[in-house]
């Protein structure tokens, strides 16, 4: 399967990214965020956009995926 991951730079998202890249059932990961993960992997593709409140510009890039992990937000671990 192919998955989209929002928030791959965060604590939760980093864990999700790691597991997806390790899992043989996951053929590809599209990480969407306002910054790069800094990682390089054959299964990983990234879209970096300063403003994630308007995804219409990248709507076509979000087609054809099987699942989405939405890990954006404010950490419950505190600032
Ligand atoms: N940590 C926990 O134990 C825990 C438990 C249950 C649920 N959650 C939930 O999981 C979510 C993520 O938590 P976390 O601990 O991983 O937080 P985190 O480490 O602070 O990561 C937050 C992620 O959201 C992104 N983000 C935040 N504000 C953004 C904005 N305005 N526009 C674009 N991207 C934004 C950050 O991107 P940048 O790197 O660009 O800042 C980062 O990727 C939250 O909703 C939290 O409530 C967390």
Long-range contact list for 64-67, CB < 8 A, 24+ apart?
A: 64/2, 65/2, 65/3, 65/4, 65/30, 66/1, 66/2, 66/3, 67/1, 67/2, 67/3, 67/4
Closest atom of ligand 1 to CA, residue 14: 16
> From atom 10 of ligand 1, which residue's Cα is the shortest distance away?
71
Structurally, the chain folds into a number of domains equal to: 1
Domain range enclosing 23: 2-70
**Entry pTM:** 0.95
Residue 53 tokens read as: 């409140």
In a domain, 55, yes or no: yes
> From atom 15 of ligand 1, which residue's Cα is the shortest distance away?
75
In a domain, 46, yes or no: yes
In a domain, 32, yes or no: yes
In a domain, 79, yes or no: no
User: pLDDT truncated to tens, each residue of the chain (79 aa)?
Assistant: 999 999 999 999 999 999 999 999 999 999 999 999 999 999 999 999 999 889 999 999 999 999 999 999 998 776 6
Check if the beta carbon of residue 2 is closer than 8 Å to that of residue 26: yes
């Amino acid at each position: 399967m192919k998955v989209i991951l929002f928030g791959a730079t965060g604590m939760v998202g980093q864990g999700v990214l790691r597991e997806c890249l390790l899992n043989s059932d996951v053929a590809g990961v599209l990480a969407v965020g306002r910054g790069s993960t800094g990682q390089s992997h054959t299964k990983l593709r990234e879209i970096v956009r300063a403003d994630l409140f308007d995804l219409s510009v990248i709507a076509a890039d979000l087609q054809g995926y099987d699942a989405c992990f939405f890990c954006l937000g404010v950490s419950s671990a505190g600032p």
